Every structure is written in structure tokens, then in C-alpha cells.
Homo-oligomer: A and B are copies of this chain.
């Protein structure tokens, strides 16, 4: 349950079938999973343990309805900066990590340097994030894209 495999793990068809089932519903019993993937309890149990140990399975979690917990508003923020020293990036990263409304952040290739995905209660909460961010690190240009409708959202990777 520990390693972060930077490289592709060796997996056979049975492993993939198990991952499909677990991604679909991690609350299923071993018996159910074993039946669906055409195997039996012990091998499935051993393989799940291996997939966790190898870091293929990172965590087991529940997915919440954002609206039900008051996080109706989703922004994608495109960020350009003129600063590229280590110190700047470190402070920027720390700011993103410390803010729970930041669900995702990527460093990009090309003209736009970063994209950040936010879930907040309303536009005011976005502005609070924005003000706090520019107070902490110097930013050249920001474009906020406001989601009007979530057409698709899944955590399921096509294994």
C-alpha cells in the first residue's frame, strides 16, 4: 500500500477486471468481485493487496455530490506567470496545496503555464481565492473559466 510507481505496472487480464470492478463499486464483497471476474476469493484478495502495495490502487474513497455539500460552483483558472525561479514555484505550489478548494492543478506546456480546478460555494468564494493567491505570488495573467454545466465527471480510468 505504499510505493508510488512512476512506471507502468505489470498486470494481466484478471488484474484489469478487478480494477474495473473496484473502480465501479469498491463496496462490493470479495465474493461478488470474484464471481464477476471469473475467479475466487483468495486470488482476488491477494491481487488486490498486490495492486495496493504496488501503488496501482492509491486509495479507497467516497465520491460526494458537490451540490449537496454546497459547492455548486466550479472554475478552471488559466494562469500565466513571468516568474520562473524555484522560489516562486515553491510558494505557488504551497499556496495550491494548502487550499482545499483547489481540487486539481497542472503545470502546462505552451503559452499558459498552469491550470487550476476549483470547487467553491459561489463566485465570491472564487474571488477570495484569487485575492489570496495574488497576495502570495506574483502572477502575470489570469483567465477564469466558469462552468455552467458539468456534462461528464468520472474518476474511472479505462484500464
What is the interface of chain A, defined by CB distance below 8 A to chain B?
Answer: 4-9, 11, 19, 22-27, 54-71, 74, 76, 93, 96-97, 100-110, 112, 114-115, 119, 145-159
Q: How long is the Cα–Cα vector from A18 to B128 in the complex, in angstroms? A: 27
Q: Which residues of B contact A76 (CB under 8 A)?
A: 76, 106, 108, 115
**Contact between chains at A105 and B152 (CB < 8 Å):** yes
Q: Which residues of B contact A115 (CB under 8 A)?
A: 76, 145, 147
Q: A55-B65, A105-B151 are known contacts; what are 12 more A-B pairs with Cβ within 8 Å?
A: A9-B68, A19-B69, A22-B62, A26-B60, A26-B62, A56-B69, A61-B61, A64-B159, A69-B157, A101-B158, A110-B146, A155-B155
